[in-house]
Structure 1
């Protein structure tokens, strides 16, 4: 599992460029940590591509590498330009450049479009608020997201389809609401699992499952509609009820759920993006940095799962 180490200075002690680079680094590390977390049901992880035929762990890493510099630009713009429609336009333009860089790096596969939106806003929120408190960062990010983007493209996304068909607001609604599934669900579940003595890996899996248990995930809805969403919610509830990650029965049920989702080509990609956001805000609040994963642990995970 990626481990944590303290940063050399507090967030508030860094200058604007230092904070921007730190936030970008932390966002990148959060994307890598989410991608490498294993076993995740239906998602790309250390075992393989999950329900995705066009993605792999290598592509997820390459995508994260490609978009990281754009997080620096978003954060720096938020340090230099006050909250306004002008800042919203600048950040949105950088976000679209990040999407283009992601597509170049992955030969056209959408590895992190939702994460660019979610983490990009939170990076900006941290820069605008100059705070490491999750609720303040999420509030500032929400304020920015609710400003109009005059240059918003007219192309219809998977999230737009899910909104039109099922009323799910997706990543946009999450941001407009100040990231409730991150602040009120993902973070509390992560902290509770740690307090209960779970390993860092199992704590992060518990956080993911907590988000999956409540989120109307537009990635799930786009692929399989309400029936698929019901399968996810009921499957996750079963894993949690019998002990969750880190318990023998919970681990077995988690693997079974993953096999079911892969067989149905269901991917909770929206929940994965919110897990990355959870890891970002958690590490920012604690003043910690996510470190490289030990290769022996990767090998152990692959053998176990």
Structure 2
């Protein structure tokens, strides 16, 4: 896939929607990713592959554009939710009923709305800070999907999940993912994929991913974090043999049916937020 380019200018709902789609596709194309779908294999997922996920990303592009336009129009959270529900319906139609990107619809969708809001009103700060100040209280207090995996995990493990992350302005995005992308580019300046792998490992090590909790419980989350920490401590993508070590971790995740889906969403969102940098 070609390198991501910041929409020029960083405005226009369609350009924002296309950039969001491209970031999802770039995350899908990355390998190795512990337990996650890539063009190489389906990871720990029996119901999806890279082709299905790419169809999902393409189907979501017009809805990301609509969310950007809604943000530019000053829409409240209720209006964004309505578009998000329509996006989920389109995703399910494109994938034959497989939940490929529900988390990304929420997180990436909010960033698109914030990008649209900034383009219209010139709001300062990060896209995450716009989300927090503009829609944060409504995100935190809004309706909860009673049957979602994230809700079940939040009840059982008192995990904050995507809602808490968004309401706080996506701290994992700005304190973990974006700095890790920059560090990965320093470690492997000629390998953009390596930088993405490094950022994903940093996210797995530092984020309480509700997908990991749902699939593996507390023990699964601890195992995942330990594996990611070890990869980083051994030099990450800056050392010879990093790809073989990454593949071995991926295979261990698959054997345990673990998948860091929340971290994958955050990686795609970090690629998008990185386009917003001056």
Note whether the superposition's TM-score is higher than 0.5: yes
Q: What 5-or-longer segments of structure 1 have no aligned partner?
A: 287-305
Residue in 2 that maps onto 1:213? 205
Q: 1:63 aligns with which of 37, 56, 59?
A: 56
Deviations 1:154-199 (A, max 9, x none): 5321001110111111111110111011111100111122234432
Alignment partners' CA distance in 2, 1:134 and 1:237: 35
Say which SS state the counterpart of residue 42 (structure 1) adopts.
coil
Deviations 1:217-249 (A, max 9, x none): 000000110100011000001111111125224
Q: What 5-or-longer segments of structure 2 have no aligned partner?
A: none
Residue in 1 that maps onto 2:37? 44
State the aligned residue count: 275
CA 1:148–1:118 in structure 2 vs 1: closer, same or farther (change >3 Å)? closer
Alpha-carbon RMSD:
2.1
For residues 72-91 of structure 1, what are the structure 2 equivalents within 5 Å? 72-81=65-74, 87-91=76-80
For residues 124-143 of structure 1, what are the structure 2 equivalents within 5 Å? 124-130=113-119, 135-143=125-133
Residue in 2 that maps onto 1:98? 87
Residue in 1 that maps onto 2:236? 244
Say which SS state the counterpart of residue 147 (structure 1) adopts.
helix
> Normalising by structure 1, what TM-score?
0.84
Task: List, as ranges, runs of 4+ consecutive aligned residues in structure 1 with deviation greater than 4 Å.
Answer: 131-135, 148-151
Say which SS state the counterpart of residue 245 (structure 1) adopts.
helix
Deviation at 1:145, TM superposition (A): 3.9
Q: 2:112 aligns with which of 103, 118, 123?
A: 123
Say which SS state the counterpart of residue 91 (structure 1) adopts.
helix
> Normalising by structure 2, what TM-score?
0.92
